[in-house]
Amino acid sequence: MATKTLQHILQHIFLICVTLSPLCFSCNEDCFTSFTPTTATPSPNVSIKDQIISLANDQETVDWMKRIRRKIHQYPELAYEEVDTSQLIRHELDLLGVPYHWPVATTGVVAKIGSGSPPFAALRADMDALPIQELVEWEHKSNVDGKMHACAHDAHVAMLLGAAKILQKLQCALQGTVILIFQPAEERGEGAKHMIEESVLEKVEAIFGLHLVHEYPAGVVATRAKEFLAGCGSFKATISGKGGHAAIPHLAIDPILAASTAIISLQNIVSRETDPLDSQVVSVSIIHGGTAINVIPDSVTIAGTFRAFSTKRFNALRDRIEEVIKAQVAVHRCSAAVEFSGKDHPTIPPTVNDEKVFEHVVRVSREIVGEENTKVAPMFMGSEDFAFYLDKVPGTFLFLGIRNEKIGAIHPPHSSYFTIDEDVFPIGAAIHAAFAHSFLSNYTSSV
């Protein structure tokens, strides 16, 4: 009884210290291992995998994850505005006895569980919502007009906190340290980049992340080795000519005609210059020019997106877009200033899964959901700023299905009707936790 009382007192002291003391990633001291809270000792008769699955499916934990997700869902926050979301995460980490560093990249939170020593494995969840009006009528609908968690980031946070709860209970079985990354601004395509700039990947050997998707039934996981998601870039070209009266076009230099031929030629990059087996996209989606039907304008602006599955082809596509636009408008005596990306649409590299980490994730996933529910995903033309992490360290990104016709979970992300099946939360939490534990164990045994 005296021992339990002492442990209880030490836990309270620990929580107070975590709240009052700043944590620093760059210091030489091990800020995260000054105290180890009371944890469950792994049973020698039950495998860690089975313990993880059991802890993930504990009804109290499942209900807790759902409450967290719903609270975040009701009060969505856009990129770099995730103040309340961040506060909720820190509150839950405090209750779990998990130390963290905050703020990172404005609103981000980074926590650590385990020995505090190498090796390090990272898990990531994004936090931001979208400027979308929710049209789903349910008890926990967004309370903020024009803002909605329409891309499951609220659920990603809940599942990573679920993994934190599992790992904290089993931390004495961790042969290294797990980094928990709660990242802002994924929808802006720059949150991961800013987190990296603040050294969250320092010493990390591997990273894992997942995304809920409607393409697969609830509980099915899907990923693929190597090239998975496309890199995404945007371009904007201002085409300048000489304005004049539309009745006497020979006295003007028509930028609308120049823009038209440039747009047609851009389509030929994919249809006539790209291997048909190599998927790429160039889409012009904006054209602005002219204010009157009888006036040739001085300039026209066109803009769009381009995508490819490898960094080499992505960069080559970018160069070719600029070359085609400038060459085509020059034929029509115009000039063009071409810009790539911007504040609202930054360039995101392709998401390329590391083959060894991919194999590890697939083994773990099969243990959680079964081989029949573990699929090889096709390459997907969407983009994810998780790619910035994969540019720095080996890792793998995975899809977890949420499709459930009975509850209306059939709509794609970024839809006002986007709905998820919350029953997948134990699966997501378990895969996070199992990956971290087994990767650290395998890494230690292979060194």
Residue pLDDT, tens place only, 410-424: 999 999 999 999 999
Say if residue 372 is in the same domain as residue 303: no
Asked whether the predicted pLDDT for residue 26 surpasses 80, the reply is no
Say if residue 238 is in the same domain as residue 364: no
Asked whether the predicted pLDDT for residue 79 surpasses 50, the reply is yes
Say if residue 357 is in the same domain as residue 409: yes
Helix (H/G/I), strand (E/B), else coil: 168: helix
Which pLDDT score, from 0 to 100, does residue 359 have? 97
Rounded Cα distance, 18 and 413, in Å: 36
- Domain contains 294: yes
Which pLDDT score, from 0 to 100, does residue 381 have? 92
CATH number at 271 reads: 3.30.70.360
372 in a labelled binding site: no
Residue pLDDT, tens place only, 386-400: 999 999 999 999 999
What's the Cα-to-Cα distance from 343 to each of 73, 107, 411, rounded to whole Å? 26, 18, 28
φ, ψ of residue 229 in degrees (nearest 5): -110, 150
Asked whether the predicted pLDDT for residue 13 surpasses 60, the reply is no
Helix (H/G/I), strand (E/B), else coil: 347: coil
Give the bridge partners for 302, in sequence order.
237, 287
The CA-CA-CA angle for residues 331, 332, 333, to 5°, reads 95
Domain stops at, among 290, 306, 340: 340
- Domain contains 25: no
φ, ψ of residue 176 in degrees (nearest 5): 155, -150
- Domain contains 399: yes
Domain stops at, among 340, 375, 405: 340
Say if residue 294 is in the same domain as residue 373: no
Model confidence at 9, pLDDT cuts 50, 70, 90, reads very low
* Amino acid identity, position 418: F
73 in a labelled binding site: no
DSSP secondary structure code for residue 298 in this structure: S
Rounded Cα distance, 106 and 87, in Å: 12
Rounded Cα distance, 3 and 77, in Å: 44
Structural domain boundaries enclosing 172? 46-227+350-446
CATH number at 196 reads: 3.40.630.10
% of the chain exceeding 90 in pLDDT: 84
φ, ψ of residue 177 in degrees (nearest 5): -135, 135
Rounded Cα distance, 19 and 94, in Å: 8
Mean pLDDT of 340-352: 80
101 in a labelled binding site: no
Residue pLDDT, tens place only, 260-294: 999 999 999 999 998 888 899 999 999 999 999 99
Asked whether the predicted pLDDT for residue 225 surpasses 50, the reply is yes
Cα 93 versus chain centre, distance: 21
Number of domains in the chain: 2
For tokens 């099969």, what's the residue? 366
* Amino acid identity, position 355: E
Say if residue 308 is in the same domain as residue 295: yes
Residue 50: its H or E element? helix 48-57
Say if residue 54 is in the same domain as residue 139: yes
Say if residue 221 is in the same domain as residue 250: no
- Domain contains 2: no
Which pLDDT score, from 0 to 100, does residue 311 have? 86
- Domain contains 37: no
Nearest of 201, 180, 160, 124 to residue 397 by alpha carbon = 124
- Domain contains 21: no
Note the pTM of the prediction, 2 decimals. 0.85
Say if residue 193 is in the same domain as residue 311: no
Say if residue 185 is in the same domain as residue 242: no
Model confidence at 60, pLDDT cuts 50, 70, 90, reads very high
Rounded Cα distance, 367 and 434, in Å: 9
Residues 361, 266 contacting (CB under 8 angstroms): no
Q: Both tokens of residue 395?
A: 């890792």
414 in a labelled binding site: yes
Lowest mean pLDDT segment, chosen from 43-52, 102-111, 300-309: 43-52
Which pLDDT score, from 0 to 100, does residue 121 have? 98
Say if residue 378 is in the same domain as residue 438: yes
151 in a labelled binding site: yes
Say if residue 272 is in the same domain as residue 291: yes
Say if residue 117 is in the same domain as residue 178: yes
Do β-strands 374-376 and 280-289 pair in parallel, antiparallel, or remain unpaired?
unpaired
Which residues lie closer than 8 Å to 149 by C-beta, 6 or more apart? 72, 73, 76, 129, 130, 142, 155
Domain stops at, among 340, 366, 399: 340
- Domain contains 26: no
- Domain contains 5: no
What does the radius of gyration of the chain's CA atoms come to, in whole angstroms? 25
